[in-house]
A = this chain, B = another copy of it.
Amino acid sequence: MELKQETQTYEMPHLLTYYECDETGHPSMSMLLSMISMASDEHSMALGMGIEKVQATGGTWVVSGYEGQLAEQQPVFGETIILGTRAVAYNRFFAVREFWITDKEHNIEYARIKAIFVFMNLKTRRMESIPAALIEPFRSPIVKRIPRLKRPQKLNENAPIVEKDYRVRYFDLDANHHVNNARYFDWLLDPLGRNFLKTHRLKKFNLQYLQEVRDGEKIDSKVNKLIENQKITCHQISSDNQIDAIAEIEWY
């Protein structure tokens, strides 16, 4: 684990396990997001801001969206990879964080991902301004405007749709007592089916979180029916007729 104060970067090695990988032998997207989320937690802890300290403010960090690209070559289980992150910039309500995943020698960049974080009041479940004590230690610049992530292209409701539903399970909850947002990717991608998923590799993705999924809810996951040689898929998950998240994915 390496913390470089002057550039606000943090890196940690990670042994990629068998159970973090899917049938292709490469990490699944939900595990990939879980791993980078662990890296940002470790970064915070290295700067003295563990979960207790964050939650003592009455709030918690929440990701509002991800935007990322993956190399065609991906790591395989048993490989030690590097998880890296840095705080890029912030303003009163938004903080931008960048992540990268490389091989052990930093020769191959497997993934580069940008995330927008907001700060949510634990009681009201509403966004509030970021407490200075929780952002200043990262030494990232305060800026006027945070560049927004590219908004995912919407599902075409008029074109044929493939739809599957899922029930949130107890083990989708994490120690934060909420559904781990990395899991959303399992629901988003599963309707594409095995034939597509085992033969396609993800190139770019934009994911926007709109509403929190809760324990026990039924999730509807929709994607437009695939046409031959399709390179982009548009996804939507919803519960109780409210949209929880939308995503646009480009495939190799």
Residues of A with Cβ closer than 8 Å to B? 17-19, 21-25, 28, 30-31, 34-35, 37-38, 41, 45, 77-78, 164, 166-167, 169-171, 173-175, 177, 180, 182, 186, 189-190, 192-194, 197, 215-216
Alpha-carbon distance A235/B21, docked complex (angstroms): 28
Instruction: Report whether B22 and A173 are in contact in the complex, using a CB–CB cutoff of 8 Å.
Output: yes
Instruction: Report whether A34 and B19 are in contact in the complex, using a CB–CB cutoff of 8 Å.
Output: yes
Alpha-carbon distance A216/B167, docked complex (angstroms): 15
Given contacts A17-B38, A31-B19, contact A170 B182 (CB under 8 A): no
Instruction: Report whether B170 and A25 are in contact in the complex, using a CB–CB cutoff of 8 Å.
Output: no
The contact of A37 among B18, B78, B170, B171, by CB within 8 Å, is B18
Please indicate the chain B residues that have their CB under 8 angstroms from the CB of A173 in the complex.
22-23, 194
**Copies of this chain assembled into the complex:** 2
Instruction: Report whether A180 and B19 are in contact in the complex, using a CB–CB cutoff of 8 Å.
Output: yes
- Nearest B residue to A187 by beta-carbon distance? B169
Given contacts A17-B38, A41-B18, A215-B194, contact A189 B174 (CB under 8 A): no
Please indicate the chain B residues that have their CB under 8 angstroms from the CB of A182 in the complex.
19
20 cross-chain CB contacts under 8 A = A18-B34, A18-B41, A18-B174, A19-B35, A19-B174, A19-B180, A21-B174, A22-B170, A22-B171, A22-B175, A23-B170, A23-B173, A23-B174, A23-B175, A25-B175, A28-B171, A77-B175, A170-B190, A170-B193, A170-B197
Alpha-carbon distance A157/B96, docked complex (angstroms): 55
Given contacts A21-B174, A25-B175, A170-B197, 8 further A-B contacts (CB under 8 A): A17-B35, A17-B38, A19-B38, A22-B171, A23-B173, A77-B175, A170-B192, A171-B186
